[in-house]
């Protein structure tokens, strides 16, 4: 069975991994948010190993790095990466006044919460900041809060 390569570019670090049968493996971490093409290629090579992937996805809150990561992902996997954003069908409806302002990481978390646990849900993510996201009983992302 093929895997899906997923990349989460955050403000503090970037995490890569292979998703297969609902489990993560081959997890790699790059500290910081400014990565060279060489460091990206090396991390991709370590994450992929000898695995072939059916697809890849990029979840990023650092827009300045998106083009570099998208190119590297396409080159490493031979498939066009999916960029996570608020217009993508992630299995969670967005009922928020300015959906374009919701971080891709927060939408991915909401999507995963609905997939794994159903709705309603509150998601807490302990990253650079502590974020809380609220999903209504109807499966709608309705907002959240963050703390340093």
Distance of CA 25 to the CA centre of its chain: 15
The position carrying tokens 């910081």 is 32
Based on the residue annotation, tell me whether 125 is a catalytic residue of this protein: no
| Residue 23, SS3 per DSSP | strand
* 64 burial level (CB within 10 Å; 0-12, 13-18, 19+): exposed
Active-site pick, 8, 105, 125, 133: 105
| Residue 92 per-residue DSSP state | S
Catalytic residue ranges: 105
């Amino acid at each position: 069975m093929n895997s899906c390569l997923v990349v989460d570019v955050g403000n503090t670090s970037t995490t890569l991994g292979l998703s297969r049968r609902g489990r993560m493996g081959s997890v790699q971490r790059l500290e910081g948010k400014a990565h060279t093409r060489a460091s990206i290629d090396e991390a991709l090579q370590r994450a992929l190993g000898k695995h072939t992937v059916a697809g890849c996805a990029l979840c990023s809150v650092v827009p300045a790095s998106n083009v570099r990561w998208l190119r590297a992902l396409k080159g490493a996997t031979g498939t066009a990466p999916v960029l996570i954003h608020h217009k993508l069908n992630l299995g969670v409806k967005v009922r928020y006044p300015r959906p374009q302002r919701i971080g891709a990481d927060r939408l991915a978390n909401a999507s995963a919460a609905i997939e794994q646990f159903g709705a309603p849900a509150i998601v807490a993510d302990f990253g650079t900041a502590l974020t809380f996201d609220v999903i209504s009983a109807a499966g709608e992302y309705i907002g959240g809060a963050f703390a340093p």
